[in-house]
Amino acid sequence: MIFRIGGYIYLLEIFLCLLFSILFYKRGTKAEKCLVPFFACLLCIEMIAYVYVGHVVSIRRLYNFWFPVEFIFYSFFVTSFINSASKRRGIIWGACVYTGLVAVEYIFFIPDLDQFATTPYLVGTILILPVLLMELHEILNNEVMDHPLRNPLFWFITALLIVNVGGFFVMGSINYLLVKDKNLFRALSSINTIATCLQYFFFLLYFYCKWKYLK
């Protein structure tokens, strides 16, 4: 029930994110302009997953390919706002290495993608969390001392922190819980659905702050 209701909510939120990314397209940076195709793809992916919710194997395959794309996109997006050139280069190299490792993992070690690929997900989380914390540190230590709640990127980073910290434990243990404790799996999946709704709500706050404070 929570997944169904939550699914309606975050599909609507993603649609609104796509709409607002289109409205802000002309005023956006190069990275922000990439939000339009990203949210368009994300909406399609989540709609497919929602429609085929009963086809567990198909959804796992879909997310096995999509999650690495998400990690790489979010890493590049947040990196575009980091002031330090050396940090940006390091993150870009890390993303490239991650892409190579995922390709090797899928080709040689996980030829059957019917199960959720936890290793690429966990490594992706480990990759993106330092990126988010670096930019959050820059925001909170900005010499101008703008209120962080008025900074659009603060909400974007907060959204990603919430879903990735929780996802590290939930998605990292998904295959084990499906076998050992399905009740706990369902409970954690419900929490993950709520966190996902919260994530896209904070994305909407990102666009609201762009409209309200960056005119």
Per-residue pLDDT at 138: 87
Give me 52's structure tokens: 């085929």
Per-residue pLDDT at 165: 87
Type and span of the H or E element at 84: none
Secondary-structure breakdown of the chain: helix, strand, coil percentages, each rounded to the nearest 5: 85, 0, 15
Q: Has this prediction a pTM greater than 0.85?
A: yes
- Give the residue ranges of DSSP H helices in 54-181: 56-79, 85-104, 118-140, 152-170, 174-180
**Sequential pLDDT tens for the chain (215 residues):** 555 677 788 899 999 999 999 999 888 889 999 999 999 999 999 988 888 765 555 677 888 889 999 999 999 999 999 988 888 899 999 999 999 999 888 888 776 677 788 888 999 999 899 999 999 988 888 756 567 788 899 999 999 999 998 888 877 777 777 777 778 777 877 888 888 999 999 999 999 998 886 65
- Please state, as a whole number, how many other Cβ atoms lie within 10 Å of the Cβ of residue 77: 19
Alpha carbons 40 and 205: distance in angstroms, whole number = 19
Per-residue pLDDT at 63: 87
Per-residue pLDDT at 214: 62
Tallying the residues shown for the chain, one arrives at 215
Alpha carbons 87 and 73: distance in angstroms, whole number = 17
